[in-house]
Amino acid sequence: MTVKTAPNRSQWLRLLGIALLIGTLVTTLEILTRERIVASQTSAALDYLRQVTGPDDQGAAITFENWPIPNRQLGLLGLSEGDEMHIALRAGQPIAAIVPSISNAGYGGAIQLLVGIDFTGRIIAVRVISHRETVGLGDKIEIAKSDWIEAFSKRSLSDPAAKYWAVKADGGIYDQFTGATITPRAVVNQVAATLQFFADERAALAARGTSQANPEARE
Amino acid sequence: MNPPNDNYSACHGLWREHPVLVQLLGLSPLLAVTTTLANALGLGLVTLIVLLGSSVSCSLLRRQLNGALHLPMLLLIIAAWVTCAELLVRAYAYPLAQALGIFVPLIASNCVILNRAQTIATRHPIGTAALDATVIGSGFLALLLIVGAIRELFGRGSLFADMHLIFGDIARDWLWQPFDGDYTLLILSMPAGAFLLLGFLIALKNFLDSWLLPSSESPPEKPIAGSKRVRTTGKIN
Ligand SMILES: Cc1cc2nc3c(=O)[nH]c(=O)nc-3n(C[C@H](O)[C@H](O)[C@H](O)COP(=O)(O)O)c2cc1C
């Protein structure tokens, strides 16, 4: 085998040739599939948004907009700069905020949540977007595995009172799982933090919604 | 130039030189994604396609793929196929891409693929390379399916969960849950359980070998040129 000799110029050129050929092919495919991948991602994200905004019962179509999250709140939500929240609007009026929120207190690492909150500050629904909790123990936070996560529906920062916003093991009202307290604790605390965020920002969000819906109303 | 190896016989890849059961290659995807049959099927199919693509291209380019730089060239080709596969899975089966996560891009690090490119594809004409890739890929897929089925059935008490990720909405009601309620056997859901299970499967294969092929009749071992593997469960060279 020629393996032991040092590479000569023609071998480097061949490597370069193959790299160029492959680079071209992969780039072409990337361009061809880009649109479809973005479409798939958006439709998957929309599926989640619909799940956390609830059924569209009042006829008028719900649209979604991305609004910025103030930098001072990023820490509370476990997000990084540039992350946005989604606002559901009906006839131009904001009706719900869908806030991404990440807990780093999971057993297996980050737990990514999407929390849907209506403008009275009540939770519509919470969904787990991704997590690395143990299969069979911590994964009951997924709606596909258990309806545990539905316990948050209709809850708000005052219902239950702050000291009961915890798993039962910590004196709160939310169930933990048998043999797995870390995962539900992380989720409950993160949902509470997300409600706190919304309470802080609600007025600003509502004001932005009003000025956006009828810009002339301010005159 | 490496001379073609005339001792080559494709069907050995299914049993006597099975990439996982005998050569112990490609263990990490096997242990990590086989928690359900659906995941196993998804990853097995993508791996099969990548293996086929990279073997065929390596065979086509085999006159260029030698010398001191042949390894980076092979890796480039394999990585290109993996990237293409990932783009296509994300474009046309986005939920499957989400379920398999990092393990689609990690196919690039599956040694089975590099091993076949090095030992077979760059030394044989395209027909042989394609046949070899198909056989090896199917053997890998079959083992993933066996491990996935056992882990899903006895680990989570279900079978055919999540099949809609691959077959679309019609597969949503294929789910079969033979045990009642909350049956789970945690160890099988975890990589450690998969590792134990694999050990039992290898033992079973060795048992079948000794039973089916009494040692006096066992065929002469055929060396695989260029193989430097030391960690094997049988005699492959
Ligand atoms: C292999 C292994 C995986 C575990 N995975 C989780 C998990 O995903 N989520 C969790 O809350 N606890 C998990 N646990 C259990 C935690 O270590 C901890 O014991 C438990 O959360 C405490 O709950 P308890 O107060 O009800 O005993 C796991 C334990 C082991 C040994």
- The answer to the question of residue A82 being in a domain is yes
> pLDDT-based confidence at B219, cuts 50/70/90?
low
**Furthest C-alpha separation in chain A:** 83
Residue A81: left if φ>0, alpha if ψ -120 to 50, beta else—which one?
A: beta
Contact: A33, B66; criterion CB under 8 Å: no
Q: Tell me whether A109 touches chain B (CB under 8 Å).
A: no
Atom of ligand 1 nearest to the CA of A177: 26
- The answer to the question of residue A156 being in a domain is yes
Cβ–ligand 1 contact at A103 (below 6 Å): no
Facing residue for B69 by CB, picked from A12, A33, A41: A12
Contact: B190, A135; criterion CB under 8 Å: yes
How far apart, in Å, are the Cα atoms of B33 and each of A106, B149, B191? 21, 12, 9
In angstroms, the CA A177 to CA A162 distance is: 21
CB atoms within 10 A of CB B129: 25
Facing residue for A25 by CB, picked from B67, B80, B155: B80
CA distance A135 to chain B (A): 6
Answer whether residue B118 shows pLDDT above 70: yes
Q: Tell me whether A26 touches chain B (CB under 8 Å).
A: yes
Q: Where are the beta strands (DSSP E) in A26-159?
A: 62-68, 84-90, 93-103, 111-118, 123-130
Answer whether residue B216 shows pLDDT above 50: no
Q: How many domains does chain A have?
A: 1
CA distance B89 to chain A (A): 9
- The answer to the question of residue A26 being in a domain is no
- The answer to the question of residue A57 being in a domain is yes
Interface of B with A in 76-95 (CB under 8 A): 76-77, 80, 83-84, 87-88, 90-92, 94-95
Contact: B69, A7; criterion CB under 8 Å: yes
Facing residue for A135 by CB, picked from B69, B84, B189: B189
Identify the residue with better confidence: A135 or A127. A127
> pLDDT-based confidence at B8, cuts 50/70/90?
low
pLDDT score at A216: 57
pLDDT score at A28: 94
Residues in chain B with CB shorter than 8 Å from the CB of A29 are 83-84, 87-88
State the distance from the centre of ligand 1 to the C-alpha of A140, rounded, in angstroms: 13
State the distance from the centre of ligand 1 to the C-alpha of B185, rounded, in angstroms: 15
In angstroms, the CA B54 to CA B50 distance is: 6
- Average pLDDT for B70-87: 92
Burial track A91-121 (b if 16+ CB lie within 10 A, e otherwise):
eeebbbbbbbbbbeebbeeebbbbbbbbbeb
In angstroms, the CA B183 to CA A81 distance is: 43
A186: nearest Cα among A145, A129, A131 = A131
The number of angstroms, rounded, from the C-alpha of A218 to the middle of its chain's C-alpha atoms is 34
Query: Atom 28 of ligand 1 has which residue's CA nearest to it?
Result: A180
Least confident of A2-16, A77-91, B70-84, B120-134: A2-16
Identify the residue among B69, B96, B104, B184 best suited for mutation to test binding to A, counting A beta carbons within 10 A and taking the highest: B69
Q: Are strands A93-103 and A111-118 parallel, antiparallel or unpaired?
A: antiparallel
- Average pLDDT for B59-64: 88
| Range of the structural domain that residue A161 is part of | 35-217
Six token digits for residue A219: 């005159």
DSSP state of A174: B
3-state secondary structure chain B: CCCCCCCCCHHHHHCCCCCCCCCCCCHHHHHHHCCCHHHHHHHHHHHHHHHHHHHHHHHHCCCCCCCCCHHHHHHHHHHHHHHHHHHHHHHHCHHHHHHHHHHCHHHHHCHHHHHHHHHCHHHCCHHHHHHHHHHHHHHHHHHHHHHHHHHHHHHHCCECCCCHHHHCHHHHHHCECCCCCCCCCHHHHCHHHHHHHHHHHHHHHHHHHHHHCCHHHCCCCCCCCCCCCCCCCCCCC
Query: Atom 5 of ligand 1 has which residue's CA nearest to it?
Result: A134
Cβ–ligand 1 contact at A182 (below 6 Å): yes
State the distance from the centre of ligand 1 to the C-alpha of B55, rounded, in angstroms: 44
In angstroms, the CA B10 to CA B139 distance is: 11
Beta carbons of A123 and A155 less than 8 angstroms apart? yes
- The answer to the question of residue A1 being in a domain is no
Answer whether residue A218 shows pLDDT above 50: no
- The answer to the question of residue A170 being in a domain is yes
Contact: A134, B189; criterion CB under 8 Å: yes
Q: What is the pLDDT of residues A61-118, one digit of tens each?
A: 778 888 999 999 999 999 988 888 988 888 788 888 999 999 999 998 899 999 999 9
pLDDT score at B17: 77
In angstroms, the CA B169 to CA B114 distance is: 36
> pLDDT-based confidence at B32, cuts 50/70/90?
confident
- The answer to the question of residue A40 being in a domain is yes
Residues in chain A with CB shorter than 8 Å from the CB of B72 are 15
Q: What is the pLDDT of residues A48-63, one digit of tens each?
A: 777 777 666 566 677 8
Beta carbons of A67 and A87 less than 8 angstroms apart? yes
Read off the amino acid at residue B55.
S
Six token digits for residue A120: 């009275």
Interface of A with B in 32-71 (CB under 8 A): 33, 36-37, 40-41, 43-44
- Average pLDDT for B65-70: 83
- The answer to the question of residue A159 being in a domain is yes
- Compute the half-sphere exposure of residue B73: CA atoms within 13 Å on the CB side of its CA: 27
pLDDT score at A219: 40
Length of chain A: 219
Contact: B69, A2; criterion CB under 8 Å: no
